[in-house]
A and B are shown apart, each in its own frame.
Chain A
Amino acid sequence: DAKTTQPPSMDCAEGRAANLPCNHSTISGNEYVYWYRQIHSQGPQYIIHGLKNNETNEMASLIITEDRKSSTLILPHATLRDTAVYYCIVRVANSGYALNFGKGTSLLVTP
Chain B
Amino acid sequence: GAGVSQTPSNKVTEKGKYVELRCDPISGHTALYWYRQSLGQGPEFLIYFQGTGAADDSGLPNDRFFAVRPEGSVSTLKIQRTERGDSAVYLCASSQGKDEQFFGPGTRLTVL
In-complex Cβ contact of A44 among B44, B45, B91 (8 A): B91
A104 to B37, CA, bound (A): 13
Query: B42 interface residue, CB < 8 Å from A?
Result: yes
In-complex Cβ contact of B104 among A43, A49, A93, A94 (8 A): A43
A94 to B98, CA, bound (A): 5
Query: A110 interface residue, CB < 8 Å from B?
Result: no
Taking residues whose C-beta sits less than 8 angstroms from the other chain, chain A's interface range is 20 to 34
Query: A111 interface residue, CB < 8 Å from B?
Result: no
A41, A95, A96, A101 interface centre (most CB from chain B within 10 Å)? A96
User: Is the contact region of chain A dominated by helix, strand, or loop, or is it mixed?
Assistant: loop
Residues from chain B with a CB closer than 8 A to the CB of A93 are 98
* CB-nearest residue of chain A to B55: A96
- List 23 A–B pairs whose Cβ atoms lie within 8 Å, in order of A's numbering: A41-B105, A43-B91, A43-B105, A43-B106, A44-B43, A44-B91, A44-B103, A45-B103, A87-B42, A93-B98, A96-B48, A96-B55, A96-B98, A97-B56, A98-B33, A98-B56, A99-B101, A100-B45, A101-B42, A101-B43, A101-B44, A102-B42, A104-B42
On A, residues with C-beta under 8 Å from B are 41-46, 49, 85, 87, 93-104
A-B CB proximity, top 10 nearest: A43-B103, A101-B42, A98-B45, A46-B100, A94-B98, A96-B98, A44-B103, A101-B43, A102-B42, A43-B104
